Amino acid sequence: MLNWEELQQSQLVVLQMIQNSMKKKRVAHAYLFEGEKGTRKRDVSLLFAKSILCERPENGVACESCSNCKRINNGNHPDLHLIEPDGLSIKKEQIKNLQAEFTKTGVESNKKIYIVVHADKMTPNAANSLLKFLEEPSSETMAILITEQVHRILPTIISRCQMISFKPLPKEQLEKQLLNEGIHPNLAVLASNLTNNYEEAVEICRNEWFAQARLIVLKLYEVLQKSPFQAMVKIQEDFMQHFKEKDQIERALDLLLLIYKDLLQIQLGKEEHLIFPDQQGLWKSNALQVSTSRLSNNMTSILEAKRKLNANMNSQLLLEQLVLRLQG
């Protein structure tokens, strides 16, 4: 689970807002955590709840050793309730059951905290039921609503919450967090250039399919330097066998685009920014032999291929045309 030190690195503004409200004893009765997927809103909501319910907090930071902290970490604290979609939505019955809990006194403390994950997925009836609670706040209860699509939340609910916005992780911070997770440096730098979503980045790095995808795309680039015939064979054999779905092909095109971006960085003498640092020695001569305009045209061709892919063009035909363009 996320700790305060990690939060300081990834969401400093969020940390400052939460800590200031706790130090000044001005904790709101309802919060709306909004931001893109992977910005760790759920982790922060649990960290916030833990700090409020902790038996021995210090400067608004949970001790991590008391009974309350341990039970929250284990997911079984009676005064912390987590509401998540039942199927595709959060239903009125779920909010009604939650409201029934509002009438009860806290079991372990005076506080009761409710976290609604994917609050934008509440049905209209569920949203209206929750609104009644927000309109009549109790000093002993606190709600945290989490959403990736704040525009789908009722304006009347938004107006009754203190909104805290979560920003995507900067590339450098995401790479650092991945390294702290024990991810190999080559995969960490690559994943941080493919997404700013922490959860997705970790999944990418630990996915054997992706590790193989990286090798296949690197091999395709190598073959592209030799002959059109060999590249076509590569497309029909290894490539299409591994990249079967539309999103997988799009990922392959992203990897190919990053290769040409690295070649451009080598030309500009910015080797410290390489996304494939282990390939520097192999690519240096290639990079210096091709013009900057040619690299730019190749990158444009890859972006055009992505556009055509999303327009549902036949994937094999698209890739064969791309190979011919990349070889000039």
Say which residues have a Cβ less than 8 Å from residue 102's Cβ, sequence separation at least 6.
Answer: 112, 133, 138, 141
If DSSP codes are grouped into helix, strand and coil, which group holds residue 146? strand
Confidence of residue 109 (pLDDT cuts 50, 70, 90): low
What span, in angstroms and rounded, lies between the C-alpha atoms of 317 and 181? 40
Q: How many CA atoms lie within 13 A of 36 on its CB side?
A: 11
Band of residue 106 on the pLDDT scale cut at 50, 70, 90: low
SS3 30: strand
Q: What are 268's two structure tokens?
A: 């500009």
Query: pLDDT tens digits for 293-326?
Result: 999 999 999 999 999 998 888 988 998 899 888 8
Question: Poorest-confidence range of 35-49, 51-65, 107-121, 228-242?
Answer: 228-242
Q: How many CB atoms within 10 Å of residue 288?
A: 10
Residue 294 near residue 267, CB atoms below 8 Å: no
Place of tokens 């690295």: 262
pLDDT digits (tens, 9 = 90+) for 207-222: 999 999 999 999 999 8
Element (H, E) at 99: helix 92-102
pLDDT in tens, 170-205: 888 889 889 988 999 999 999 999 998 888 899 999
**Across 22-28, average pLDDT:** 85
Domains of the chain, first to last = 4-168 (3.40.50.300), 207-326 (1.20.272)
Side chain identity at residue 194, one-letter code: L
pTM: 0.69
> What whole-number distance in Å separates Cα of residue 131 and Cα of residue 149?
18
User: What distances in angstroms separate CA 220 from CA 57, 105, 213, 253, 288, one per listed residue?
Assistant: 55, 64, 11, 11, 20
**Collapsing DSSP states into helix, strand and coil, what is residue 57?**
coil
**pLDDT at residue 71 greater than cutoff 80:** yes
